Amino acid sequence: MLKVITERIKQGYRTIPFPAGEMPQLPERYRGLPVIDSSKCPDGCAKCVEACPTDAITIDGDMKIDLGRCLFCTDCMDACPEGAIEYTPDFRLATSTREGLIIDGKAFELAQSIDEKSRRIFGRSLQLRQVSAGGCNGCEADINVLGTVVFDLGRFGIHIVASPRHADGLIVTGPVTQNMKLALEKTYAATPAPKFVIAVGACAISGGPFIDHDEQNNGCDSIVPVDMYIPGCPPHPLTILDGILRLLGRIEGNER
């Protein structure tokens, strides 16, 4: 027992104050919300469009990036001769709508919280069931991290539960493979209403790297209604936490 206590003292207190206090510092090379400067684009140049592995970029007059497809890789930046695309360190990426993920370099609207009545029900206690439906287990790993002492999801009254019967909503990851489609439908049906669905990661939003494969369904919103989209490949744990707290109205607007 003494050994445990000694070790506990050495390991220290590790929970981050987020969302209170200063914004957590992410590494300099971290790739968060991209910014676009279409004015730098030479006429007819589409090098970024050609380079993007998931066809997330379109140029129709102005350049647009679909964050739902974006893998946050460097391929577009590397291809661009003018530096028109850059990543910022802003990890706040969750939106309430699929269209909201399509950015054009102007204002980016972060997710809205649920209505006042739902907030009274779920604001201080939200039980979520996770369904992993394809993908690479990266998003699952970074959801799991929220349970560690660093993020301590439990302090917000949010837990991942072991049955859909105990859940207020689903966190879905993966493009929804054909082999997982039925299991997702059944899990959704088994969750009592009112309920939410949060789609985490490029796969669950659009199919991600597996877009248009016959073996999957290009994400979960063709199968279950989605209330929140959290993009990334995988999203940083802070991005996911920020999203869930916004859903509950515990972070609002551009507040940090």
Partner 1 sequence: MTVLAEYVRTLNGKPVALADVPVVPMEVFRETLKEQLARTSSELSALFGVPVDSEGVRVYAVVSDGASSEITICATDVGQRYPALTPYITQAHWFERELAEQWGVVPEGHPWLKPIRFHRSYRHGQDAWGRVVGDRILPCVQPVGTDYFKVRGDEIHEVAVGPVHAGVIEPGHFRFQCHGEHVFTLEIELGYQHRGIERRLIGGPDKRTLHYMETLAGDTSIGHATAYSQLIEGLSGSEAPLRAQAIRVAALELERLANHTGDLGALAGDVGYLPTLSFCGRIRGDFLNATGLICGNRFGRGLIRPGGVAFDLDDAMTADLQKRLTAAHRDVTGAANLLWSSGSVMARFENTGQVSLETTKALGIIGMAGRASGNDRDVRRDVPSGYYRFAQIPVSTWHTGDAFARAYVRHLEIQRSCHYLLEHLPEVPGGKLRRDVGPIQADAIAVSLVEGWRGEICHVALTDSEGKFAHYKVIDPSFHNWIGLAMSLRDQQISDFPLCNKSFNLSYCGHDL
Among 35, 71, 38, CA closest to 52: 71
**Within 10 Å of residue 126's Cβ, how many Cβ atoms?**
20
127 counts as binding partner 1 under rule CB under 8 A: no
**Phi/psi at 239 (5° precision):** -65, -40
Residue with tokens 């802003």: 90
10 counts as binding partner 1 under rule CB under 8 A: yes
Among 180, 197, 244, 248, binds partner 1 (CB under 8 A): 180
Restricted to residues 203-222, the positions that interact with partner 1 (CB under 8 A) are 208-210, 213-216
Helix runs in 23-100, H state only: 47-51, 75-79
CA distance 82 to 80: 6
- Residues forming a β-bridge with 216: 177
Q: Do the beta carbons of residue 110 and residue 43 sit within 8 Å?
A: no
**Stretch of 73-81, 104-112, 117-125, 246-254 contacting partner 1, by CB under 8 A:** 73-81
Among 48, 85, 131, 248, binds partner 1 (CB under 8 A): 131
Question: Which residue, 129 or 246, is less far from partner 1 as judged by CB?
Answer: 129
160 counts as binding partner 1 under rule CB under 8 A: yes
Instruction: Describe the chain by its helix, strand, coil percentages, rounded to 5.
Output: 30, 15, 50
Among 162, 165, 252, 254, binds partner 1 (CB under 8 A): 162
Residue 233 CB, nearest approach to partner 1 (Å)? 7
Among 194, 171, 150, 162, CA closest to 16: 150
Among 102, 104, 145, 250, binds partner 1 (CB under 8 A): 145
71 counts as binding partner 1 under rule CB under 8 A: yes
68 counts as binding partner 1 under rule CB under 8 A: no
Report in angstroms the alpha-carbon separations of 178 from 26, 175, 207. 36, 9, 12
Q: What does the binding site for partner 1 look like in residue numbers (CB under 8 A)?
A: 3-4, 7-8, 10-11, 14, 26-31, 50-54, 71-75, 87, 130-145, 147-150, 160, 162-163, 174-175, 177, 179-180, 182-183, 187, 208-210, 213-216, 233-234, 236
